Structure 1
Amino acid sequence: MIMSRTEAAPDQARGDLTERLLVGLPPEAVLTDPDITASYANDMASFCPAGAPAVVVLPRTGEEVQHVMRTATELRVPVVPQGARTGLSGGANASDGCIVLSLTKMDRILEINPVDRIAVVEPGVINAALSRAVGEHGLYYPPDPSSWEMCTIGGNIGTASGGLCCVKYGVTAEYVLGLDVVLADGRLMTTGRRTAKGVAGYDMTRLFVGSEGSLGIVVRAVLALRPQPPQQLVLAAEFASAAAACDAVCKIMAGGHVPSLLEIMDRTTVKAVNDLAQMGLPDTTEALLLAAFDTPDPVPDLAAVGKLCEAAGATQVVPADDAAESELLLQARRLSLTALEAVRGVTMIDDVCVPRSRLGDLIVGVARIAEKHQLTIGVVAHAGDGNTHPTVCFDASDPEESRRARESFDEIMALGLELGGTITGEHGVGVLKKEWLAREIGPVGIEMQRGIKQVFDPLGILNPGKLF
């Protein structure tokens, strides 16, 4: 365990640290007011402890990040890198006496190249801003987390995030070609390439994707782009049981269809959305399946999927005629998490991914867990890739209810592993799932990961206390 100077003599150490940081950073980039630094202590996760930062820095260049890391190494001060803090696992939570390294000011799109189909960006670029910018060139950056209007590309890389379109287009890791990374000692390392192909040496780029800031600080990324697809059309299918909806998912995927979106909402979520927005969904709906295609002519694809849904027992199938109707159908899915939060005021969002063939078992199992703990737990899922988000609704001011919420969360993760799944499909491990990472990958896996951490961060100053 690293003992920081701020633990030994807080006021003096903080002053020394600030003075050293100001040697290479402008005054406006170094924040020490406790009221301000406290606002950087947490991401959006529940049940994750956070400490009090000694200082928050907001660099604008890679050179400034290098100065921060050299200073941190010399003074043995932990560093917690942050993006927009939209994470849901405590991965961006501060530790006592740390430097919070906020990368939100490094928000430039450095290059968009339509020939090579790449974008070069800094880590603070907002996902939606990149998507709109490349769209002006007829290009498409597919990863689209639900927080895409707020989350940063650096945060997406740190957690290897996904989104609604993953069923067809894949996750963030598949679009990161190369990185510039500042290491713990301040050295700059370049990984990967700008080319479509490249297999020189170990794949160091993939190693950093999903590392949650524990191995280095991404200061530049080369991202792959695709041609802008046609406007997608959406189909909504209502089912009298979650099992029937999941059977439809299996039929769709086994039939060789490649939807651009395949999402499922359980009865609890549908009711919450109805209560919040009066969407008019039938009270008898036990599960709502949304499928979309962005092929040149999506109508035949929707018709074929509609027949498969009917064969699986759909009580109603509603295909959209145009983009406006598609947007209306997707509105319910986009409102899901907001609606569930309104049920009890606070939510704890799980992120269990299971094989598609076990999706129905997961949803049924979550319903049993909700009944056992007398809680409202809604399930929304990226059904096409088996990534589910069971969302526990609870009153954070009620200690007993909070205890049951945490127990139910753990039981859902155990269920996911039992079904052959993984504890996180896109939210990361952070603080919240450290114990569960150890269960999933085992003692040898943990030993190897700690060994990698030791190589890149021998002093243990990069995002300490996360992952393992």
Structure 2
Amino acid sequence: MTVLLEALGREIPAERLVTDPDVVASLSHDEAEWAPVEPAAVALRARSEAEVAYAVGVCAELGVPVVPRGAGTGLSGGANAVAGCLVLDLARMNAVTEIDVDNLVARVQPGVVNDDLKAAVAEHGLWYPPDPASAPWSTIGGNVATNAGGLCCVKYGVTRDYVLGLRAVMGGPAGYGSVVELGRRTAKGVAGYDLTALMVGSEGTLGVVTEATLRLRPAPRGLPRTVVGAYSSLVDAGTAVAEVTRRGLTPSALELLDRRCLEAVEDWKHLGLEAEAEALLLARVDTPGAGGDDEARAVVDAFGVGDPLFALVSTDDDEAEALFAARRLAYPALERLGPVLTEDVCVPRSTVPTMLARLVDIAARHGVTMATIAHAGDGNLHPLLITPPGDDVARAAAQEAFEEILDAAIELGGTVTGEHGVGLLKRDGMRRELDPLAIEVQRAIKRTLDPLDVFNPGKVL
């Protein structure tokens, strides 16, 4: 560590370098409680692209791995330290450097919090749509690393759809510590391979993103309508989700929460929620004017196919907002109950009812406590496996259920991760999902762009 500190200290102010073991440990992992963590050598709280570039060059020369992190809100272990690494904390590179109103573009540093960007562009009548449930805390750099989705991606797409260009510190042919500009800022462009898209979702394994050029949209007009459906089972709710898709309806959000999630949020935050049903569906329709009214009624009709306890357009804005708040708060509320192993499978929307039935069966057979939330409108399900603290038997059962859920999603034509990333937790599942030749192509890309395996080694592949 001494040699590394001396080398970094030649160009980087000492106050940026963190050596206190407790502080380094706090920066050495994300929220994936079940993913392994090894002791890092030192952390760097970078303030500039130049500091990142210099640090990467030093680490490559000394054979020290670099593990980038943003806010540490990830759920797959993608930001977990490996032994002797430099943890590269980008949270303080948090400037919105440009908002181009005329061309609907923003340039931001990786440490900008998602909701802070939304607030900044809203002052100009603009909107940045990707909205993971962690939007109040997660950073754009982390969103880019995992290609984050969120509540409104069913209609408006995921992070990759909004990243026009990137600046990144890379290695390989460019040389470690080189700053490479990728992509564009125009609405269209096909000059060369789409290296920007390759970097989005690469989980920090190909380089360190230091700036993102993002597509914006005009802010939505009018007030959204909220449609609520209550069901006596998860499968009934899934039937309604499949019907919404079958009828060609595209609400701006279509979310699912089960009773256990609602009870956990209410016990924690006391929002005045009543958890009488086994599952709730929450849809938002943002089409302005009379067309939005018609669309909301059409969603209610589709919800009816699932034999709901009730399905209606909410007339209580406060209650509707509380329900969506509960959806965002579900994960931290459940974390209070014990260690949580989080799934992120995504299946074709027509198979959502079947996958929900599989979840219920898997949890019952393994004796695992399960709560379920979902971006149901795009088939992205988040079953959460909860175990009592210190219960090794329950933990082993949850891990077996976790892998079986991955296999069920693959069998139904789905994927092991819709938005959280592979990280450490889903590497085996990814290998079961993908064509072996596709994995070899990915490994070849990694070897070419990071031949020394400096960037976030051991993750994904």
- Which range moves more in the overlay, 178-187 or 321-330? 321-330
What is the TM-score with the length of structure 1 in the denominator? 0.93
The residue aligned with 2:306 is 312
Which residue identity does 1:67 align to in structure 2? Y
Which residue identity does 1:258 align to in structure 2? T
Contact 2:128 2:215 in 1 (8 A): yes
Contact 2:68 2:208 in 1 (8 A): yes
1:237 aligns with 2:224: no
Contact 1:234 1:329 in 2 (8 A): no
Instruction: Give percent identity, aligned residues only.
Output: 46
Query: What is the rounded CA distance, in whole Å, between the counterparts of 1:36 and 1:271 in structure 2?
Result: 34
Q: Deviations over 1:49-81 (max 9, x none)?
A: 111111101111111111001101111111111
1:256 aligns with 2:248: yes
1:103 aligns with 2:87: no
Q: Deviations over 1:53-112 (max 9, x none)?
A: 111011111111110011011111111111111101100000111111111111000000
Contact 2:110 2:209 in 1 (8 A): yes
Say which of 326, 336, 341 aligns to 2:335: 341
Contact 1:340 1:347 in 2 (8 A): yes
- Which range moves more in the overlay, 39-48 or 171-180? 39-48
Contact 1:273 1:279 in 2 (8 A): no
Compared CA separation, residues 115 and 95, structure 1 to 2 (3 A): same
What is the TM-score with the length of structure 2 in the denominator? 0.95
Shift in Å, 1:47: 2.1
The residue aligned with 1:197 is 188
Shift in Å, 1:318: 3.2
Gaps in structure 1 of 5+ consecutive residues = 1-13
- Please give the secondary structure, in 1, of the residue aligned with 2:435: helix
1:288 aligns with 2:280: yes
Shift in Å, 1:280: 4.7
Compared CA separation, residues 404 and 311, structure 1 to 2 (3 A): closer
Shift in Å, 1:35: 2.1
Alignment of structure 1 residues 64-463 onto 2, 5 Å? 64-184=51-171, 185-230=176-221, 231-273=223-265, 276=268, 277=270, 279-281=272-274, 283=276, 285-297=277-289, 298-321=292-315, 323-342=317-336, 344-463=337-456
- Please give the secondary structure, in 1, of the residue aligned with 2:133: coil
Contact 1:233 1:326 in 2 (8 A): no
Compared CA separation, residues 316 and 274, structure 1 to 2 (3 A): farther
Q: Deviations over 1:257-282 (max 9, x none)?
A: 22011011234434544555474535
Q: Deviations over 1:113-147 (max 9, x none)?
A: 11110100000000010000001111000111111
Query: What is the rounded CA distance, in whole Å, between the counterparts of 1:278 and 1:206 in structure 2?
Result: 40
Which residue identity does 2:235 align to in structure 1? A
Contact 2:68 2:90 in 1 (8 A): yes
Contact 2:447 2:453 in 1 (8 A): yes
- Which range moves more in the overlay, 369-378 or 158-167? 369-378
Query: What is the rounded CA distance, in whole Å, between the counterparts of 1:162 and 1:275 in structure 2?
Result: 27
- Please give the secondary structure, in 2, of the residue aligned with 1:60: coil
Which residue identity does 1:453 align to in structure 2? K
Which residue identity does 2:228 align to in structure 1? A
Contact 2:243 2:305 in 1 (8 A): no
- Please give the secondary structure, in 2, of the residue aligned with 1:335: helix
Gaps in structure 2 of 5+ consecutive residues = none
- Please give the secondary structure, in 2, of the residue aligned with 1:396: coil
Say which of 41, 56, 68 aligns to 1:54: 41
Q: Deviations over 1:355-398 (max 9, x none)?
A: 11111111111111111121211111111100000000112311
